[in-house]
Chain A
Amino acid sequence: MIESALHALRENYNFVVILCGVSLLGAGAGIVGAFAVLRKRALTGDALSHAALPGVCLAFLVLGERNLPAMLLGALASGILGVAIISALVRWTRVRDDAAIGIILSVFFGLGIALMGIIQRMGSVGNKAGLSSFILGKTTGITGADVWIILASAAICLAAIVVLYKEFLAVSFDADFTQSLGWPVYAIDLLLMSLVAAAVVIGLPTVGVIMISALLIMPGAAARFWTDRLSTLLVLAGGLGFVTGVVGTTLSYTFDKLPAGPVIVLTGAALFLLSMLLGHRRGAIARILAHRRFRRSWQERQLLRTLYELIESSGFRQRSVPQDDLLSLRAWSPAEAQKLVQEAAVAGLVLPLPGGRVALTDQGWQQALEATRGHRLWQTFLAEYPEQAGSVVNLASVSVDDHLPPALSDELQAKLVAAGRWPASEVAP
């Protein structure tokens, strides 16, 4: 594939032009789209692109010839009109945003199709319009001049984001707070949406109305799995968009049966899927593994603490308790309890004894002490400082020291000692 692409590179000036255009488009759309995703406006791009179609057709009808810049301006105008109607509907009527988006998207698109029908019946002029390429996109239609338009727009997007980085960050992070600071949130939002609109419109002739929104959403959403920092996220989204463009274009060029737009979207989907599964910050696999680790350690601590408490309530006479007693304190089924005991036994923390009893090993005793201390310190903390309830407590950590200042944890410990509830190591039976 790479060889054939290189071959194509040498052979075909057109291919280079297309490759440049689509990759730049991917990068620009990725960066702008990342903000839209963060701002919870993922589907605005979809509404915009569908709403742009009548503008394209009207520009053609008015000029009577195919003039790309004019058609894109028409697209921009009608796209923005559509988005404006959506926000007006949400603001002034009881139509909800999901319905408003759906209505504008389908009605404008229907209007576009109807106008297109009129154009196509105009005879030879209409057939040359190549309007249908706006729906599903057509990379072969890109000319050198188009690449310059795309390049210029991508540059403008980038410049706007660099200049207004702080403002966009604030608005997409917490719009209400930003508003309370007296910033013109509405204007910033509007600018952001204009950038989205620009990206959509530039993408229309190549990727098409239906799928351009994917190019906006996917890179940003995919990048989110790899980082928590906005600056990194933006660079990554741009990079992923770029890669999507390069790979998608090359693929569609290599297998010439495949249309470019859908192949680009599927490339983006594959990148998203990989990121979602493998991303090390929020990726699904990393998260599921972490969650299972957390559950295991939490349940293990529950078991050890329960054993300690049972031993405590028997006056520290024995280091073993009947396994069935576990069920009186915890809502485990006998099978669950059995499984937990077995797992802890494998870890060398408990020792199942004959006669259905369980004993703590030395190591288990130490960990049980720690688990019980941590739990009681948290509980005391909640009892003493109920205002802080829940906001500080973390079930994943064994000790409170990571979350509370030392003086406070000393104070809580003193309280527990005074109440005779501090698990002290010297009372081991």
Chain B
Amino acid sequence: MNSLLDIHDLTVAYHRKPVLWDVDLELHQPQLAAIVGPNGAGKSTLIKAVLGLVPLASGRAQIFGEPVARVRQRIGYVPQRESVDWDFPVSVLDVVLMGTYGRLGWFRRPGRDEREWARECLEKVGLAQYEHQQIGQLSGGQQQRVFLARALAQRADIYFMDEPMAGVDAATERLIFQVLADLRAAGKAIIAVHHDLRTVPQYFDYVVLLNVRLVAAGPRETTFTPDNLRKTYGGRLALLDAAADAIAAGSGAP
């Protein structure tokens, strides 16, 4: 069977320190998956390694059974918000339009169809009225939503998101998750780095626990357990307690 995402024997090292070590991960069905782990666990690096943005010490990553370079048009990517310069002189719509560049190829410029589509994507994240604003004028949560809209504009089948919920308020977080859930319902796969253990059970149905090595990966019910979390984070009790509460709450939810 062709898997959606197949990471095999992946090691990324920096100055001989492993950032990711012997990671094997396969995803067969479209999932709303969270990559969870402490700081420095290599969560962002895992995404970058899959997308070919960092050099690998060993291993390979395939998407839809093909090398990543061949299926780039089917991959959506949301980098960390801090990775770009928000003073850059572009409007909100311009940024969303960048999502269509991948399909356009060299030399072709986005036309009316692309603009329409970009507006639609903006509407989905509730920012239609900010289309003409310079991106620096938006709040953090709105900037995150612009990135999400840009990913939507990519019309991808699999999305990699690096902390799409970093620094957003609760309302925006709910909205972002609604968009993700819609994508998931439309048969897309989403793999998102997530830092807030408490909201994992609420939103995600698949969990990848990562701390340099892959600790566990699987459906949330069986994988997001206190035992696995301890193996990922070590004995930081306060944090685990909060997560345990969330797990208890999440198991009661539909």
Contact = CB atoms under 8 A, between A and B. Distances in A.
Contact of A331 (B16, B60, B212): B60
B211 A331 contact: no
B234 A386 contact: yes
A387 B236 CA distance: 9
Nearest to B40: A390
Contacts of B59: 331
B38 interface: yes
A393 B17 contact: yes
B16 A390 contact: no
Interface string B1-36: 000000011100100111101100000000000000
B212 A393 contact: yes
B233 interface: yes
B87 interface: yes
A385 B213 contact: no
Given A382-B213, A385-B234, A395-B13, A390 B58 contact: no
A387 B234 contact: yes
A302 B59 CA distance: 12
B16 A395 contact: yes
Contacts of B18: 390, 393, 395
Given A94-B87, A330-B58, A331-B60, A387 B38 contact: yes
Contacts of A388: 234
Nearest to A387: B234
Contacts of B42: 390
Interface in A313-371: 329-331
A378 to B, nearest CB: 8
A302 B17 contact: no
A203 to B, nearest CB: 36
23 contacts: A330-B58, A331-B8, A331-B58, A379-B22, A382-B211, A382-B212, A383-B231, A385-B234, A386-B215, A386-B232, A386-B233, A386-B234, A387-B234, A387-B236, A390-B17, A390-B18, A390-B40, A393-B17, A393-B18, A393-B212, A394-B16, A394-B17, A396-B16
Q: Which 7 A-B pairs rank lowest in CB-CB distance, beginning with the nearest?
A: A387-B234, A331-B9, A331-B60, A386-B234, A389-B212, A331-B59, A331-B8
Given A331-B60, A382-B213, 18 more contacts: A294-B16, A299-B58, A302-B58, A331-B8, A331-B9, A331-B58, A382-B212, A383-B213, A386-B38, A386-B211, A386-B234, A387-B234, A389-B38, A390-B40, A390-B41, A390-B212, A393-B18, A396-B16
